[in-house]
Structure 1
Amino acid sequence: MNTRSSSQERINYQLFMFNSIFVIMLYYSNHARAALVDCYGQVIKSSARNLQIWRPQADFYEQSSTDIWESCVNVIKDVIIGINPKEVKGIGFDATCSLVALDNNGNPLSVSQSKINQQNIIMWMDHRAQDEADFINKTGHEILKFVGGKVSLEMEIPKLMWLKKHLPSLWTKYGHFFDLPDFLTWKATGYESRSMCSLVCKWNYECLSSGSHGWNLNFLNQIGLDDLAENNFCKIGNKVLMPGEFCGGLLPNIADLLGLLPNTPVATSIIDAHAGGLGMIGTMGGEIEQDMSSRLSLICGTSTCHMAVNNKPIEVKGVWGPYFSAMVPNLWLNEAGQSASGMLLDHILSSHPAGSKLLQKLETGNLRMHLRKLLQGMAKSRRLSDVNFLTKDLHVWPDFHGNRSPIADPSLTGMIVGLKIDKSEENLALLYLATLQALAYGTRHIIEALVQAGYRPFKSMLICGGLAKDPLFIQIQADSVGIPILKPHEKESVLVGSAILGACASQYFNSVQSAIENMGGKADAIQPNKNIKSFHDKKFNVFLKMFHDQMQYRNMMC
């Protein structure tokens, strides 16, 4: 922390910090991050550490809960240096929806066929459970109506089925399964509670607006996981709390380890993308309508999640949900997304000959800036009014890691039309631009599915995450859909979302709704360029045709 030059400034700083909320979060799958966030939703200080990821074979992604927790401890210590522990009012956790496996004593137990206990997390992006997901979907069970008609292999129940089938010698030794956000609150407090957000969105746990909720034993019986019901579902959770609800205070030994006070309030957790949606949805952006159901939130990281809320349940084919109170209390959530967005762009950059060379001397952010300048120069030299016109004959279908929404087919693959024998930086820039456009058309495809199912046309989109740092990505999203985008002044909306929960657990605010209103902050509005809407309409039609062509190729090869 910088030393202030006057006593008045020091007093203001101390008062400012007195109102701060402490939040720890795991984000982007490969980073643990912590931050101090004040009661106005502003990030004061943050810290990040890299996490280890194993890829034992294609489409397998594993992590270590020990590595993640130790990294969390380190980043927490980083952000509280020089801070009076009394100023930390509450703690909120969020994390990726990954499956954590522990033994009966709470120690890591392997999810890997190598049986290395350190590798005890199946990550959200892991696609090993394809057969298990297919089996569940063929049952046609009524519970599938809450996941757009199909369970995803990214969810936890198919992964549990995979463990039981492929690691039978370990199955009876597993004592606890957690979603990663709930694992973090358990490590901090010792309480084995689960978040309604994680269970409803990723575990096929039922929650209705009537207040009725619970595990569906008929469903577990039908898919062969009825043994998880033993001892009142103790392995997968029998105490379920709402996000932001007090789930316990910091254990004395954990508080001592972190340098905080024992019993500091800890909030029931939330999934990282949902934290981003929560942190943005109350944002004020000029004259743009602030009705939550008129806004679509985009949380853009390794993947992109599209969050929409409504006061009534809307079933959307190929889109997860409707989930009651999973993000905003008393509102139904539909969750769509793209399995690879940031990860796809990184692949495009690193796999191109020019990109691999540029990455040796430029960081990813600087490389993208370099490409934007190249595109501007190319458009100017060709006397084009907008850079988007450069890709008239270059088209991308972006599902290199399957389609999450609205087609809900993880077996789909990527497609590129218009390739040339060209290793130049200009060629890389064009391919990068076409990929940005394809991701935007994916958003438009999702919006059309939501509206067709019953959502009112959206008036704006909110955006956060790593890709929100790219102005070209944001502008293309606005242009292709034809509605403005709100970019929060506070760039770390996911951190703010977790801070909102921490504020509620500490009772600084008496409800999540109140915290949203006070901590939402302001945003800049990026307006769509209506002059190129017809161009994007044509490319979107090509986009849809590419999917149908892929299906036709499959049928031809049967």
Structure 2
Amino acid sequence: MALLLGLDFGTGGVRVGVFDLAARRMLAEREEPYATRHPQPGWAEQAPADWWEALGRASRAAMADLGSPEIAGICAATTASTVVVCRRDGTPLRPALLWMDCRAAAESDRTAKADHPVLGFSGGSDAAEWLVPKAMWLSRHEAETYARAEVICECLDWINFRLTGAWVGSRMNATCKWNFDSVENRFHDDLFTALGVPDLSAKLPQPILPVGAPIERLGAVAADHLGLSSRPIVAQGGIDAHVGMLGADTMAPGDLLMIGGTSVVHLFQLTEEQPVTGFWGPYPHALVDGHWLVEAGQVSAGSVLSWFSREIFALDGTGHDELCEAASRIPVGGSGLLALDYFMGNRTPYRDPHLRGAVLGLSLGHDRAALYHAAVEGVALASANVLKRMDELDVPCRRIVTSGGYSKNPLWLKATVDAIGRPVELPSRANLTIIGAAAAAAAGASLVPDLHAAAKAVVPPSRTIEPDLAAHNRYNELLGDYLEATELLAPLSRRLAARQREKPPA
């Protein structure tokens, strides 16, 4: 029996799954949370030690559920651009900058002014969320810490180091987020010099390994921490949502994976390079050789819905369910409200970290259900806007698979399907990232010949959700309002965001 351990480090916690490759099913799954701190508006930080402790608790619990079985392979997938600054022995020098942290907006703007061919892979600039702008920010604002840093890496690299004792980088993360040239298989120090971090490549984990490549066997201390009786091969992983492409088997051009969570990520591959203005990419060989990976997405999605239900309305799980029930009785556009989802900026198609969220049309007659319904519609309209841009770019989209938070929020799922107006496949397993990590682990342990075979070996069954075409027509009208409001409010949003940066709270 070939059992695989998939690790998914998300924004709020780590999920661990034990996958039976022969039976194509998950045998056990456990989750442990960790905290996020927001020292200033737009900032978000986590403690790497919290990730490791949460992983140990979750893995030991999963192993106990199954009587400590032998594991053949392990692979981790993590949030992208969650940046760790540490010593060579892994000791962090400061809290990690979480992926959603947008303090490096000015540094992101600076990358857009650089003239270097490798930036063409990311559409001409780096997002404020990514490792390079964050390293630039640290170099400028925390110069002593930056100088002391022997390693600047992502959550994935730090976890792999704790698992194996080896510093390696993922070709996926490096290509998509670090300006790694995956065609020439190297970093360009002249670009980093132009950006003010000439020594950055010396601090980045290397060598760079493709997803599914074996790293090392699990270390003895790490095996004990995870509750494993053996020391399986640890395979190289990647970005959580992107690894989900393996779990969904959406690796063929024309397939689109749309994962809803704290953010929404839209992922597809091309057979050749083509302009994808407003998107991130196309990235050569990021997931597999010979394909160009393209990423779109919404920075704030499920986090907007959680913010309304938890932070503003102070609801628990039961209260949230009741709120969704009340909101579901409101027809499309029936609240008379329009929400913009840019609470932490926009990733696609505007690539603007300075945009901010809004709710328009408020009156004293609106209640919590109306506000929540508008927020759901706003997040759904943002997804429709991404699909609209794909059509404008003549990107084929013959099949859509979705997972993540959509499976836990039927109101959000229905709104999204109706807004985009296309059939959507919903897999029976919600966490495609864990399944994708298991697929990469199978490749690393040589249980399958390659990642394509691995994806076929793990993909779960799914059901198809059809759109309500009458509702879709109404969403098309709302999309016009959404686009108009975005254009009108963008200058004001940027001024307000600038004031937040200039005058942080005491």
Give the letter aligned to residue 390 of structure 1.
Answer: G
Count the aligned residue pairs. 495
Q: Alignment partner for residue 239 of structure 1, among 187, 196, 207?
A: 207
Paired position in structure 1 for 2:459: 520
Equivalent in the alignment of 1:216: 188
- Percent identity between matched residues is 25
CA distance in 2 between partners of 1:268 and 1:472 (Å): 36
| Shift of residue 252, structure 1, vs aligned partner | 2.1
| 3-state SS in 2 of match to 1:87 | coil
- SS of residue matched to 1:486: strand
The reply on whether 1:267 has 2:235 as its aligned counterpart is yes
Aligned to 2:89: 105
- Whether 1:335 aligns to 2:267 is no
1:254 match: 222
Task: Write the distance in 2 (CA, Å) between the matches of 1:297 and 1:197.
Answer: 16
Residue 84 (structure 1) shift: 5.8
Q: Counterpart of 2:135 in structure 1: which amino acid?
A: L
Whether the 8 Å CA contact 1:489–1:523 is kept in 2: the answer is yes
How far 1:107 sits from its partner (Å)?
Answer: 1.4
* TM-score between the two structures when normalised by the length of structure 1: 0.84
User: Is the CA contact (8 Å cut-off) linking 1:314 and 1:453 kept in structure 2?
Assistant: no
Asked whether the equivalents of residues 372 and 429 of structure 1 are also in contact (C-alpha less than 8 Å), the reply is yes
Which residue does 2:332 correspond to in 1? 388
Which of 304, 314, 319 is equivalent to 1:367? Answer: 319
1:414 to 2:397 alignment: no
Distance 1:295 1:420 in 2: 42
- Which residue of the other structure, out of 72, 76, 99, is the alignment partner of 1:93? 76
513-522 or 443-452, larger mean C-alpha shift:
443-452
- Given candidates 394, 398, 412, the residue that maps to 1:473 is 412
The CA distance in 2 between the partners of 1:156 and 1:554, in whole Å, is 25
Letter in 1 for 2:34: L
Q: Distance in 2 between matches of 1:226 and 1:396?
A: 42
Superposition deviation, residue 368 in structure 1: 3.9
Aligned to 1:494: 433
1:388 partner SS: coil
Find out whether 1:455 has 2:395 as its counterpart: yes
Report what 2:504 is aligned to. none
1:402 is aligned to 2:348: no
- 1:6-155 alignment runs, 5 A limit: 18-27=1-10, 29-39=11-21, 40-81=23-64, 83=66, 87-97=70-80, 98-110=82-94, 119=95, 121-155=96-130
Equivalent-residue separation in structure 2 for 1:166 and 1:128 (angstroms): 11
Give every structure 1 segment of 4 or more consecutive aligned residues whose post-TM-superposition deviation is greater than 6 Å: 554-558
Matched to 1:207, the amino acid is S
Q: CA deviation at 1:419?
A: 0.6
Aligned counterparts of 2:230 and 2:97: Cα–Cα separation in 1: 31
1:56, distance to aligned residue in structure 2 (A) = 1.9
Moved more, 460-469 or 194-203: 460-469
CA gap of 1:65–1:350, structure 2 versus 1, over 3 A, is closer
Q: Give, as a single letter, the amino acid of the residue that structure 1 aligns with 2:186.
A: G
Give unpaired runs (5+ residues) of structure 2: 499-506
Q: State the distance in 2 between where 1:219 and 1:153 align.
A: 17
Q: Tell me how far 1:328 sits from its aligned partner.
A: 4.3
String of CA shifts for 1:462-521, please: whole Å, max 9, x gaps.
111123311221222121111111100112211101111111111111111001011112
For 1:446, the equivalent position in structure 2 comes to 386
Alignment match, 1:5: none
Worse-superposed segment, 255-264 or 443-452: 255-264
Aligned pair partner of 1:308 in 268, 271, 282: 268
Displacement of 1:262 = 4.9
Query: Larger Rg: 1 or 2?
Result: 1
Please, which runs of 5 or more residues in structure 1 have no aligned partner?
1-17, 111-118, 283-290, 380-386
3-state DSSP of counterpart to 1:432: helix
Report the counterpart of residue 204 of structure 1 in structure 2. 179
TM-align CA RMSD: 2.2
1:339 to partner: Cα distance: 0.7
- Asked if the contact 2:90/2:158 (under 8 Å) is kept, the reply is no
- C-alpha spacing 1:556/1:70, structure 2 compared with 1 (3 Å): closer
1:378-413 deviations in Å (ceiling 9; x for gaps): 55xxxxxxx22523x221111121111110001011
Equivalent position amino acid for 2:472 in 1: K
Instruction: Render the CA deviation track for 1:140-196: whole Å, top value 9, x for unaligned.
Output: 433222112331010000111111111122222111112111211111111111110
Aligned residue type for 2:32: R
Q: Does 1:432 align with 2:372?
A: yes
Shift of 1:373: 2.7
Alignment-mate amino acid for residue 487 of structure 2: H
Q: Distance in 1 between matches of 2:221 and 2:227?
A: 10
The aligned counterpart of 1:286 is none
The structure-2 alpha-carbon separation of the partners of 1:22 and 1:166, relative to structure 1 and needing over 3 Å to count, comes to same
Aligned to 2:468: 529
Q: Tell me how far 1:554 sits from its aligned partner.
A: 7.0
Find the residue that maps to 2:242 and give its secondary structure: helix
Q: Structure 1 367/296 Cα, relative in aligned 2: closer, same or farther at 3 Å?
A: farther
How far is 1:329 from its partner? 4.4
Give the match's secondary structure for 1:92. strand
Q: Match of 2:113, as an amino acid?
A: K
Offset, 1:537: 1.2
Query: Quick one: structure 1 residues 416 and 256, their matched pair in 2 at CA, closer, same or farther if it must change by over 3 Å?
Result: closer
The alignment partner of 1:468 has SS state of: helix
In the alignment, the residues of structure 2 paired with residue 552 and residue 62 of structure 1 have an alpha-carbon distance, to the nearest angstrom, of: 28
Are the counterparts in 1 of residues 16 and 31 from structure 2 also a CA contact under 8 Å?
yes
Give the whole-Å Cα distance in 2 for the aligned partners of 1:343 and 1:555.
21
Kept in 1: contact 2:427–2:463 (CA 8 A):
yes
- Which amino acid in the other structure matches residue 15 of structure 2? R
- Residues 551 and 245 (structure 1), Cα distance of their counterparts in 2 relative to 1, 3 Å cut: same
- State the shift of 1:293 in Å: 2.2
Q: Secondary structure at the match of 1:214?
A: coil
Cα distance, 1:54 vs structure 2: 2.2
Whole-Å separation in 1 of the counterparts to 2:159 and 2:487? 43
Q: Is the 8 A contact 1:400 1:413 kept in 2?
A: yes
**Secondary structure of the structure 2 residue equivalent to 1:551:** helix
Q: TM-score, normalised by structure 2?
A: 0.92
**8 A Cα contact 1:267 1:502, kept in partner:** yes
Cα distance in 2 for residues equivalent to 1:200 and 1:156: 11
What secondary structure, in the 3-state scheme, does the structure 2 residue paired with 1:186 have? helix
Moved more, 255-264 or 172-181: 255-264
Choose which of 176, 180, 196 in structure 1 pairs with 2:151. Answer: 176
